[in-house]
Amino acid sequence: CGVFGVWAPKRDVARLTYFGLRALQHRGQESAGIAVGDGGTVMVRKDLGLCGQVFSNADLSTLTGQLAVGHVRYGTAGAKSWEAAQPHLSTINEVIIALAHNGTLVNTDELRRQLIELGVPFLSNSDSEVATKLIGYFTQRTGHLREGIRKTMELVRGGYAMTLINESSLYAFRDPHGIRPLVLGKLVDGGLDQADLKAAAKLPSLEESTEANEPVPEVTTAGGWVVASETCALDIVGAEYVRDIRPGEILRINDEGLVSEQGVPAAEKPANCIFEQVYFARPDSIMNGKSVYACRYDMGRMLAIESPVNADMVIGVPDSGMPPAEGFAHESGIRYGEGLIKNRYVARTFIEPTQELRAMGVRMKLNPLKDNIEGKRIVVIDDSIVRGTTMVQLVKMLRGAGAKEIHVRINSPEVIWPCFYGIDTDVQQQLISANKTVDEICEFIGADSLAFLSVEGLLKCMPEGGYCDACFTGVYPVAIPDSFGRDKFM
Ligand code: 5GP
Ligand code: SF4
Ligand code: MG
């Protein structure tokens, strides 16, 4: 999923959010929603579909206020329904909040049951709604939204990046491992306010601040602030990247300024999702100081070093396979060319619910460029093989277009383990690498050769930081409780 939040009283916050969500559309195409706070209350509009389908110009004009949060959904936990669309609202007595969540919480069943016993109503079976209602419940009990958030962070387990609003304050917070991404940006309409940027970049961490849970008043409120899953959403609204939200941190932004506190202690080592760089994030986003494009390019170079092959042309599978294909070509000296043309107007195929639709989806989306392929020995680069659906189709297509040899190179290691933290890589039974050897997969997809990038090779392409690579290694940074139904996945 993609999340976006903005606090900017002098700006059209609904439209800023709309454009932010459009930049994050690759993170989810199932539903879209925007909630706006106007000082008195919170209004939400959400529906199934892409941003452009959900919001008309008139809708955006009626969503007036000083701050907003938005969400594009990519269903992992819970069903595909209007009720599961976000932002989720919680209204308990006077407390109205709207929350946008990217990630998966692995221990919400019991918490949900307890809330229902306390009389809290639920509209969906989504983990995000449990988080929303928990925050609402504790806020109402303690009288403080930040207490509600803090207590909820203490209770929930999993990977999450959340942003929420009440009528006047924007909050952003992240799980203790920083599994899902979340960045802070400053709106810079009247030119960059360097003092503000510097101050925000240097907010004290828990270890530095003397009173751990006392919010630290920070900077003035000139202009406005933005939080988003990726920096590409800051770019589109003209916001300057300030820094990442820290693991376990709670950030609050309102007319008193920007305040940071450590909601729960950060884990010893961060565990940023490495699949963001492999597949999920947009290439023009910057993560841990390095563009996703540059990471993918380097993965392609590393792949050429680890698994070289003689061939006439290197092609990439659009879109995420293109940068590593360029890197592979650069390193190997084999020329880079276009071999597959993508129809830009078909949404990502992975989302389709059944295997049959998924297989159709590949054909609808990609067509081979026969001129370029006929008679050639081709290296095909894609970011990952999950179920194997895409590659089976592609190899068939390329053979049909006259390729003499097809050498498949994948710029990530084999996906062997299910993800429990918000990326839908499916149950282990469906993961082709969990069930077949590399040779068997090669035969299954009908390629002349097949190789994956090694885990070490992948890590060498990443900027400094701590990463989750559980889907490749099975080393899970956050324990999955039995109640989550681990056995259903493995
Ligand atoms: P497969 O077809 O093997 O099941 O999946 C691999 C293809 O799906 C690759 O082309 C890759 O770009 C894409 N892919 C990998 N992981 C994900 C994911 O989590 N979501 C979506 N939408 N696509 C994915
Ligand atoms: Fe990302 Fe894989 Fe970890 Fe899931 S298991 S958070 S996809 S690295
Ligand atoms: Mg792909």
Is residue 1 part of the annotated active site? The answer reads yes
pLDDT of residue 201: 59
CATH code for the part of the protein at 2-270: 3.60.20.10
pLDDT of residue 181: 98
Ligand 1 contact, 386 CB (< 6 A)? yes
The answer to whether 439 and 117 have CB atoms below 8 angstroms apart is: no
Residue 252 phi/psi, 5-degree rounding, is: -125, 135
H-type helices in 307-420, by residue range?
Answer: 322-332, 355-365, 370-373, 389-400
pLDDT at 69 over 60: yes
Tens-place pLDDT, residues 398-453:
999 999 999 999 999 999 999 999 887 777 888 999 999 999 999 999 999 999 99
Torsion angle (degrees, nearest 10) of CA 349, 462, 455, 328: 70
Both structure tokens of 275? 């699949």
Best residue among 287, 419, 458 to mutate for probing ligand 2, ranked by most atoms within 8 Å of CB: 419
The answer to whether 128 and 160 have CB atoms below 8 angstroms apart is: no
Give distance in angstroms: CA of 45 to centre of ligand 2.
Answer: 30
Ligand 1 contact, 320 CB (< 6 A)? yes
CA atoms of 253 and 196, how far apart (whole Å): 13
CA atoms of 145 and 276, how far apart (whole Å): 31
Mean pLDDT of the chain: 90
pLDDT at 43 over 80: yes
Q: Residue ranges of the domains in the chain?
A: 2-270, 293-463
Give distance in angstroms: CA of 350 to centre of ligand 2.
Answer: 16
Q: Mean pLDDT lowest for which of 208-212, 323-327, 362-366, 468-472?
A: 208-212
pLDDT of residue 116: 95
Query: Cβ contacts of residue 58 below 8 Å, gap of 6+?
Result: none
For residue 131, the surrounding DSSP H or E stretch is helix 127-142
Tens-place pLDDT, residues 162-203:
999 999 999 999 999 999 999 999 998 644 455 555 566 555
pLDDT of residue 146: 94
pLDDT at 255 over 70: yes
pLDDT at 254 over 90: yes
3-state secondary structure 154-191: HHCCEEEEEEEECCCCEEEEECCCCCCCCEEEEECCCC
Residue 33's DSSP bridge partners are 46, 71
Q: DSSP states of 432-490 as a string?
A: HHHHS-HHHHHHHHT-SEEEE--HHHHHHTSPSS-EE-HHHH---SS---GGG-HHHH-
List the one residue out of 81, 170, 64, 66 whose CA is nearest residue 128: 81
382 appears as a binding residue in the annotation: yes
Q: Which of these is catalytic: 1, 232, 295, 461?
A: 1
CA atoms of 462 and 412, how far apart (whole Å): 12
pLDDT of residue 363: 77
The pLDDT of 150-162, averaged and rounded, is 97
pLDDT of residue 220: 42
The answer to whether 263 and 149 have CB atoms below 8 angstroms apart is: yes
The three-point CA angle 39-126-159 to 5° equals 85
Ligand 1 atom with minimal separation from the 432 CA: 3
Tens-place pLDDT, residues 294-348:
999 999 999 999 999 999 999 999 999 999 999 999 999 999 999 999 988 765 5
Ligand 1 contact, 342 CB (< 6 A)? no
Q: Return the half-sphere exposure (C-beta side, CA atoms, 13 A cut-off) of residue 103.
A: 32
pLDDT at 1 over 50: yes
Residue with tokens 């929930």: 156
CATH code for the part of the protein at 293-463: 3.40.50.2020
